[in-house]
Structure 1
Amino acid sequence: MARLWTLVAVCLITAGLITMAGPTFGFSSLAADRGVQVASVDDPNAYLGVVDNSGSADADIGNSNDESLLYYLNDNAGEFSSASAISANVTGFNGEATSLNARVEADSGSNDYVVIVDCGSSNRKGDGTVTVDLVAAEGIRVELERTTAQTISVNCRGGGNGKTGDGFDDLRVGDVDAYTSPGDDRQEFAFTPSSKLNSGNGEVRIDLNDAHPDAVDYEAPPTYYPDVTLHQGSGWVEYDGNTHEIVYHAGSQDKAGNEIRLSVGDYASYEPSGPHEVTFTRTKSGAQGNTFFSVVDTGTTPLENVDVSDVPPDSQYDDGESQTFAFTFGLEPSGSDQLAIDLTEPQNGGVDYSQIDWGGDARGITVVNGGGSAWYDSDTNEIRYQVDGDSKGDRVEIRVKGYATDSSGGPYEVPIRWERAGANESDSFVIG
């Protein structure tokens, strides 16, 4: 768009819709200045015009393969060459975390671009407002968050990619919260057979192997066996530990169109991930259907309040100076878990830990608070902590004595790694 706007230190564009601060330059100079950021408002004539389409039926998601035309975007300044310069991310449905997916495409109609929302890995069904983060970056950078003015209808079953096959009319698997300890939560599974399940030999197997054990460990300690409960259906249900499948054995009342619903507990989940595929198989006919779920971010972290204390300058191995490493379990640990406190960065900098495992009154590692034990691994420059009797919410403090320091240095980053939980949190310290 060949339009030139002259700016002073602070100038107002498009009748107060956008404010810019900076030097005096023409519009073409503004486009080349990578440091300039512009705010936008809900107006089709603004710098990046946003048109809310939530009042239209086109914004609804009628089924798992449908898409919502949620917002239209107008590049009124001619700054963005293609849809690839604009990203969209759904951050909420009715203010709650969601697995709905968003993307930006060129619009075939009168607008420049359209924000399209689909089911992604969500099993959401209902009406609600949708919150989307938009970032447009190409010369000018525009960042905005928008929540639809009206609710839209969403009917997502199976994450948008589920196929019911010949043997099922409907499949549903609930998402799982990240960093869940055994016993904290339950996951729902449901299926509707398209024909009668014969009592005695009517068996449905639900395969969990795509998620188990790296994303969701259904055989997590301390039980090593999931709690599988039937909520609706005339048969009975069990867990097959050899194949990592839930097995439903049909009852006499499991007719076509009758939903079978169950839930699973006593699993452990780790970092946000997915979508993970779940396959449903009717063993007699071989009919299969598949759907998806995700491990969703809830803001919980498996390691909380990680803290590493500073160290004094010019200390020697036998001075008796001490340094403390501490963290709190935000997730229930297992008795087989080990955590690693990585000292590589300070060891290669101004702190020498190489003699802390030599013993003596002035050297060594002590677990001040916590049920486990700790030692120094000189090959990896790590303090290793072995869990023993620790629980979610417990704070572990480890004191180290017997290191040498330079006169100054840092900050040094110290990551604490808990591999089973997918955690890698860190803190930094300095000499001084």
Structure 2
Amino acid sequence: MDTLGKIAVVFIILGAVLLAGPVYGFTSIASERGVQVSTAEGTSAYLGMESTDNSVNGVDGTAVAILHNNLESDMTFTDISIDITGDNNLLDESNTPTEIGAGNNKTVDVVCEETVGGPPDGASGVANIHITVEQADANGVTITDASLKFDSGYDCHQSADDENQDESGEECDGPPWGQGGKPDNC
């Protein structure tokens, strides 16, 4: 047998082994390849995030963002943070969700910090709010590094407990702070 004949026999045997592989215990042949996936923006992502454009104006909490669970299973946040920066750092988070039911929404609420004796200097302004979900899990799906940055206006005044007192604690006439402006004699 010449060299070409020997090579042909080797290829025939190799082909028979490859074809017989699935029959003798090999159930699949796989290869790894890189896959690049982009995330959806806004409310259509698995974890949708949007600002409400609400202005914060009190100590009761204002919804500044809505988180949407667009999956068919409950979502649990294992690491979520709210970073608020601004002119006077007068805002604080009041409601940060830890889970969202399947197909439901939850809000992120922000409040004015409690102040006593009337509005502080610079009681109104604009704050930059940055919501970061480091990790959220939902029945086999893990969402990482989702974030939303936006600006929110605020107008923070005296707390509800001291709403009709001037800086010295004296009673004032007129509407409370944040409900129509400054009381008449304050």
SS of residue matched to 1:44: helix
| CA gap 1:120/1:74 in 2 versus in 1, 3 angstroms | same
| CA gap 1:145/1:154 in 2 versus in 1, 3 angstroms | farther
The one of 94, 101, 107 aligned to 2:93: 101
The one of 76, 86, 100 aligned to 2:70: 76
The one of 49, 57, 71 aligned to 1:62: 57
Deviation at 1:140, TM superposition (A): 2.0
SS of residue matched to 1:70: strand
1:257 aligns with 2:172: no
* Structure-1 residue corresponding to 2:142: 140
How many residue pairs end up in the alignment?
134
In structure 2, give the amino acid aligned to 1:46. A
- Distance across 1 between alignment mates of 2:104 and 2:52: 12
- Distance across 1 between alignment mates of 2:39 and 2:165: 48
Q: Is the 8 A contact 1:72 1:111 kept in 2?
A: no
- Distance across 1 between alignment mates of 2:79 and 2:95: 9
Matches within 5 A, 1:308-327: none
Q: Is the 8 A contact 2:50 2:148 kept in 1?
A: no
Deviation at 1:86, TM superposition (A): 5.9
1:128 aligns with 2:122: no
* Structure-1 residue corresponding to 2:34: 9
- Distance across 1 between alignment mates of 2:89 and 2:147: 15
Q: Is the 8 A contact 1:88 1:102 kept in 2?
A: no
- Distance across 1 between alignment mates of 2:172 and 2:165: 12
* Structure-1 residue corresponding to 2:20: none
Structure 1 residue ranges without an equivalent (≥5): 1-6, 19-40, 172-189, 197-255, 259-432
Q: Is the 8 A contact 2:136 2:143 kept in 1?
A: yes
In structure 2, give the amino acid aligned to 1:132. H
Deviation at 1:88, TM superposition (A): 3.6
The one of 185, 194, 199 aligned to 2:171: 194
Deviation at 1:145, TM superposition (A): 4.2
* Structure-2 residue corresponding to 1:90: 83
* Structure-1 residue corresponding to 2:179: none
Deviation at 1:61, TM superposition (A): 2.7
Matches within 5 A, 1:106-255: 111-121=104-114, 125-135=123-133, 136-138=135-137, 140-148=142-150, 151-158=152-159, 163-164=161-162, 169-170=164-165, 190-191=167-168, 193-194=170-171
SS of residue matched to 1:157: coil
Give CA deviations for 1:307-350 in whole Å, capped at 9, x if unaligned: xxxxxxxxxxxxxxxxxxxxxxxxxxxxxxxxxxxxxxxxxxxx
Q: Is the 8 A contact 2:51 2:66 kept in 1?
A: yes
Deviation at 1:126, TM superposition (A): 1.0
- Distance across 2 between alignment mates of 1:156 and 1:90: 21
In structure 1, give the amino acid aligned to 2:39. L
- Distance across 2 between alignment mates of 1:151 and 1:101: 13
Which structure shows the higher strand fraction? Answer: 1
Deviation at 1:125, TM superposition (A): 2.3
In structure 2, give the amino acid aligned to 1:17. T
- Distance across 1 between alignment mates of 2:47 and 2:74: 10
Q: Tell me the percent identity.
A: 10
Which structure shows the higher helix fraction? Answer: 2
RMSD of aligned C-alpha atoms?
A: 3.8
- Distance across 1 between alignment mates of 2:158 and 2:100: 27
Deviation at 1:119, TM superposition (A): 2.2
Q: Is the 8 A contact 1:88 1:103 kept in 2?
A: no
- Distance across 1 between alignment mates of 2:144 and 2:73: 11
- Distance across 1 between alignment mates of 2:169 and 2:65: 35
In structure 2, give the amino acid aligned to 1:117. V
In structure 2, give the amino acid aligned to 1:146. L
